Amino acid sequence: MIQTAACGTRLAADSSHRRRRPQWPGKRRLGRKTLARLALTATAAAAAAMAIAGLSACSKPATQETDTQDKVPVVTRPATRGTIRPVVVATGMVKPATGAELLVSAPQSARIAEMPKGVGDRVRKGDLLVRFDIPSLDADASERRSALASAEARVTTAHANEQRVQLLFQRGSSGRMRGFGLA
């Protein structure tokens, strides 16, 4: 009699039977024959693909034949270790492709405040192409300016309090200083 456990493992009636690994439902272990068949099929498919690629490459004749007796000069040098510098120096003129456009967009919803360069004008690196008016940034800047003014007022008040406490301390007014927690 064979029983099946909850995880799908078959249990033999006697406990002397060799123990199998538990198999999860839906997972199947592949046997050696199945693996050998899969490997053979994959190898055959790869060989067929290489044969097709090889035949298609060799089916066309060469487009240019060169028959020469001239020697080609070749200069060889020993390899050396060194640093590679990714620098390319070139001189030329950049011409945009036909129909090419440059798309300039604001980082947030905004109005165009100024466009100092027009179509066909020459531009250089760093030239202003468009100036945007972004209302949300203006509001944020004014909010930060008011927070800065408030902080400067608190600093001024703190300095005034510090001078007053030092003056009281120099005069020896301990009764007034107790109110500040200093005596």
Give percent above pLDDT 90 in the chain: 11
Residue 6 confidence (pLDDT) above 60? no
What's the whole-number mean pLDDT along residues 139-163? 92
For residues 153 and 49, which has the higher predicted lDDT (pLDDT)?
A: 153
For residues 30 and 45, which has the higher predicted lDDT (pLDDT)?
A: 45
Q: Which two tokens stand for residue 48?
A: 């067929």
The H-or-E segment that residue 32 falls in is helix 32-58
d(CA 54, CA 131): 60
Rama region for 8: left / alpha / beta (φ>0; ψ in -120 to 50; rest): left
Q: Is the dihedral of CA 166, 170, 173, 178 positive or negative?
A: positive
Q: Which two tokens stand for residue 156?
A: 């001024």
Residue 74 confidence (pLDDT) above 80? yes
d(CA 167, CA 158): 14
Q: Which two tokens stand for residue 174?
A: 């301990």
Rama region for 26: left / alpha / beta (φ>0; ψ in -120 to 50; rest): left
pLDDT on residue 100? 76
What's the whole-number mean pLDDT along residues 35-63? 74
d(CA 95, CA 58): 41
- The whole-angstrom distance between residue 47's C-alpha and the CA centroid of its chain comes to 39
Residue 149 binned pLDDT confidence (cut-offs 50, 70, 90): very high
Give percent above pLDDT 70 in the chain: 69
Q: Which two tokens stand for residue 66?
A: 């060169």
DSSP state of 10: E
User: To 5 degrees, how large is the angle CA 11–CA 17–CA 18?
Assistant: 95
- Scanning the structure block, which residue is given the tokens 């007796």? 69
In this structure, how many other beta carbons lie within 10 angstroms of the beta carbon of residue 110?
16
Helix (H, G, I), strand (E, B) or coil at 103: coil
